[in-house]
Amino acid sequence: MSTAPRDPHRPVAHLRPHPNWINDPNGLVFHDGHYHVFHQYNPHGATHTHMHRGHFRSPDLLTWEQLPIALAPTPGGVDSDGCFSGNAVSDGDRLGGSCGHSLTRHHRAHDVPVA
C-alpha cells in the first residue's frame, strides 16, 4: 500500500485502498503491535453509497496493509443502507468494532479479524 506511486504528486505514506470510495477514517487504535485504521469504503464503486468499514493496519504508520472488510451492512437490517460511521476498541486480547447508523442511532459490535 505504501510503495512509491506512479503519480509523483500522490503522497507515498498514504492509505490507498483498492479502487472505489474511501472516506471518514474512524476507529484509530493500536492493537497487538499494529496501528489500525477503519474507514468508509464502498467496495462496489466510486460513489458515497453501499458503505462498508474498510480496514488497514501498520507496524510503523508508514507501511500500510489493507485487510478484509471489517464490517458490512446487514441485508434487511437497520444498517442495510450502509455502515457510515464506526469505531474500534482493543481490550488487549481482542479488537472490536462497531457500525453506527446515523438515522436510527443503531450500533452493532463485532470482533474484527486482525490478520
Query: With 60 as the cut, is the pLDDT of residue 5 above it?
Result: no
The residue to which cell 446515523 is assigned: 102
Average pLDDT rounded to a whole number, residues 72-87:
79
pLDDT tens per residue across span 61-74: 888 888 888 888 88
- Residue of higher predicted confidence among 12 and 100: 12
The residue annotated as part of the active site, out of 24, 60, 79, 91, is: 24
Query: For residue 5, which phi and psi values (nearest 5 degrees)?
Result: -75, 155
- Mind listing the pLDDT tens digit for each residue in 14-56? 777 778 888 888 778 888 899 888 888 999 998 888 888 888 8
Q: Is 24 known to be catalytic? A: yes
- Other C-beta atoms closer than 10 Å to the C-beta of 110 total 15
